[in-house]
Structure 1
């Protein structure tokens, strides 16, 4: 019984074997707590200052372009410099921006324009930082432990996504914006101190300087690899057709269940968390392309069911199943990227992933909102879910290499595994050599 339970529970090997992974895991949780405090306080402060839904919605508009532009540049930067330095400097910059929010909130009459400037600046720094973070995993975790590390990172995110907003909501509601922003500043200060303890992660030898040519090289590499192209395309299709978060308030109205709105937003994270808590089997999986396709199709099918049913409790169950499907697809994508992309291009490919990560949900919310205005919330959700399933099926048929991907036989994955084994051997030789010399003396 214990053996069966161990096989299902998350594999903790990366946590035990890598000091840097432990640091990043804890640092990420602390950063998320601080970020979510500001994420909830900032739009509420704009609402308090303006009383305008349009003014609150404009925050998303000022964030999108900096996130995309600096995400692409951040990918090239991550391949050209020490990724640890990028993480430390951007984390410090985010802490300074939190301090600006705090100082503005302490004014007798807080100003509106700094809130938009900070929102755009945060998006820019997040775009610079994310490729460095995403491309760091394969440098600090052994190749064979990458699926387990992806599952543990997902578990960290889900724990924060469930508990963080609830805690932040209480702080903002009962203590106000100032304590929320102060907590954000403290969290980023602690995060910077942890990031400084990470081992240096220098670029590969003869790394190219950040440039448009370098970004184009990363795009050409992704285009030349049907497996990678499939992961991006499937994610974009799933988010475009079946990301209805923006119309959840209208769905709650149609179901006469305003009390369930918060549960709708958190149900997906709960489903993702349950999958992560039973992710021990992921370490033994080699067909990660199937995870990408089946997970995305499951996300769409569950969303279709959530839009079709009129029972609010079933809606919440299906939203939870959708979250589990999205997490399954995400684990497959993350593992394929880390198993196949060469280190010299890993930052640039992570920058392209930022593009798909940001554009897909944004366009999906536009699609869902426009459709809901025409047909109502429920039809907008279930038709989008079915369209997602159809799109994923067409992409799987058009990109058979994604379905057939196997970490044991894929040329890129085997090449990365050999390189990882060689790097580990070199590190062991370096560690043993001084001891041998001392013994000989």
Structure 2
């Protein structure tokens, strides 16, 4: 017999409640893990960083727009990438050393203030109508230096803000919100320029970035002191270049971490297809909005992957999962290169983006948990260089290969090569695939 609400009485009520509970458990299993947000210090840092990352996208759009408006030359626009990457290459390693030798809260605060000042410089030069491409490049380089100083400290402090078993979930939250910012921020920046035009839109975009960046300064000011932990043997830490060398020596001799960097470089250098998007959009999909869809697809897939990432934090065979994710990235990219319909190419690139999120989160989690605290800053500095440099080398690989062999071979061949080489790496060096994280009870901090 049924009640007026349509719910069965007797044991049927229990069955219905049990089914609801089972659906709830399944939803929690797949939904993004929000437990790190219960930790006040992490929640503060996550909030400040998310707001600041959204604002930074305004500048990321505004600088190329301003440079092209000043020079009418794409070569100068391309120099923006050089101005941003070279400081990362140098100061990323140095920033890692500082993060291991100084209070990481202070390092993050200083880097954030410098980043805010450089953004304020962009606003001032736009308001004054300086119209100097060289000044624009200098301010971009200062921004990159500030990011290189603060980024290793911001990442390395994570295991001291949350229990170790929540590091994968916290890394996923960071990656997902950053990806969401890279999707939404440029769209809002585009609206700013669409409504107000270039002359008025540039100051508005820079001012919005400067305003939102204050959230990161607020977050850093409210964190507890995070001084470096003493070395177990009590030995004094070396300074300068010697300290950088120590970090590389540790990385090279720690096979699992070294292999995680190598497999990421394989994925980015061999299979990153974005340099081919303009040509393929024009020749295969008729141009127009197609290029925008291609450029957005990977980030959109990563965002969806992050929102359904609750299962990642429960993985114990993280090394094997990392290999599978990189292979999935390569295969999905290759299949997208074969797609004759735009919707299919975009869908497959979104799958690749989801696989890239999994690999990025697992690699970051392995790095933060496996490495001792005294090395985390320097390893995060190396990670900053790898993350920034890998895709740019991938652009160079794809463009050069397309010039000689065609865009189809460059796209499909790169994806298949990345997948095959990832498998060979796992077979030749089984330490990576065998890597397991400790059970939560063993890794939770007191």
TM-score normalised according to structure 2 size: 0.90
> Do the aligned partners of 1:73 and 1:210 also contact (CA within 8 Å) in 2?
no
- Residue aligned with 2:224, SS: coil
Q: Which residue of 259, 283, 287 corresponds with 2:313?
A: 283
Decide whether the 8 Å contact of 1:275 with 1:327 is kept in 2: yes
Deviation >3 Å, runs of 4+:
none
Residues 263 and 210 (structure 1), Cα distance of their counterparts in 2 relative to 1, 3 Å cut: farther
Query: Counterparts of 1:347 and 1:230 in 2: how far apart (Å)?
Result: 19
Counterpart contact for 2:45–2:216, Cα < 8 Å = no
CA distance in 2, matches of 1:332, 1:398: 20
Do 2:270 and 2:415's aligned partners in 1 also have CA atoms closer than 8 Å? Answer: yes
Which residue among 211, 215, 223 is the counterpart of 2:244?
Answer: 215
**Structure 1 residue 373 corresponds to structure 2 residue 403:** yes
Q: 1:245 aligns with which of 274, 287, 291?
A: 274
CA distance in structure 1 between the aligned counterparts of 2:219 and 2:130, rounded to whole angstroms: 35
Correspondences of 1:1-400 after superposition (within 5 Å)? 1-16=23-38, 18-175=39-196, 176-205=201-230, 208=237, 210-255=239-284, 256-400=286-430
Task: Specify every segment of 5 or more residues in structure 2 that has no aligned partner in the other structure, as ranges.
Answer: 1-22
Residues 75 and 347, structure 1, Cα contact 8 Å, conserved in 2: yes
Deviation at 1:300, TM superposition (A): 0.8
Q: Is the 8 A contact 1:162 1:270 kept in 2?
A: yes
Secondary structure of the corresponding residue to residue 337 of structure 1: helix
CA contact (8 A) 1:227 1:399 kept: no
**Partner deviation per Cα, 1:168-222 (whole Å, 9 max, x = no partner):** 2211332310100111111122321222111111111366254111111111111
Give distance in 1, aligned partners of 2:377 and 2:57.
25
Per-residue CA distance 1:79-130 (angstroms, 9 max, x = gap): 0001111111111111111111111111245222110001111111111111
1:33, CA displacement in angstroms?
1.6
Q: SS state of the match for residue 132, structure 2? A: coil
Contact 1:80 1:209 in 2 (8 A): no
Question: SS at the partner of 2:222?
Answer: coil
CA shift, 1:290, in A, is: 1.5
Q: Distance in 1 between matches of 2:353 and 2:113?
A: 32
Note if contact 2:111-2:147 (Cα within 8 Å) is conserved in structure 1. Answer: yes
Aligned with 2:438: secondary structure? Answer: coil
Q: Check the 8 A contact 1:77/1:210 in 2, yes or no.
A: no
List gaps (5 residues or longer) in structure 1. 425-441
CA drift of 1:151 comes to: 1.6
Aligned to 2:8: none
What is the rounded CA distance, in whole Å, between the counterparts of 1:300 and 1:174 in structure 2?
Answer: 40
Secondary structure of the corresponding residue to residue 280 of structure 1:
coil
CA distances 1:230-287 after superposition (whole Å, capped 9, x unpaired): 1000001111001121221111011214212111111111111121111111222101
1:254/1:408 Cα in 2 relative to 1: closer, same or farther (>3 Å)? same
Q: How many Å separate the matches in 2 of 1:376 and 1:258?
A: 21
Given that 1:147 and 1:331 are in contact with CA atoms closer than 8 Å, whether structure 2 keeps it comes out as yes
TM-score, normalised to structure 1, is 0.91
Q: Is the 8 A contact 1:249 1:258 kept in 2?
A: no
Cα separation, 2, equivalents of 1:403 and 1:388: 16
- Distance in 2 between the 1:208 and 1:125 partners? 24
Secondary structure in 2 matching 1:406: coil
Distance 2:223 2:292 in 1: 37
* Aligned-partner SS, 2:138: helix
User: Using the alignment, how far apart are the partners of 2:169 and 2:219 within structure 1?
Assistant: 22
Q: d(CA) in 1 for partners of 2:180 and 2:239?
A: 35
d(CA) in 2 for partners of 1:171, 1:210: 46
**C-alpha contact 2:32 2:310 (8 A) present in aligned 1:** yes
Question: Aligned partners of 1:205 and 1:346: how far apart in 2?
Answer: 13
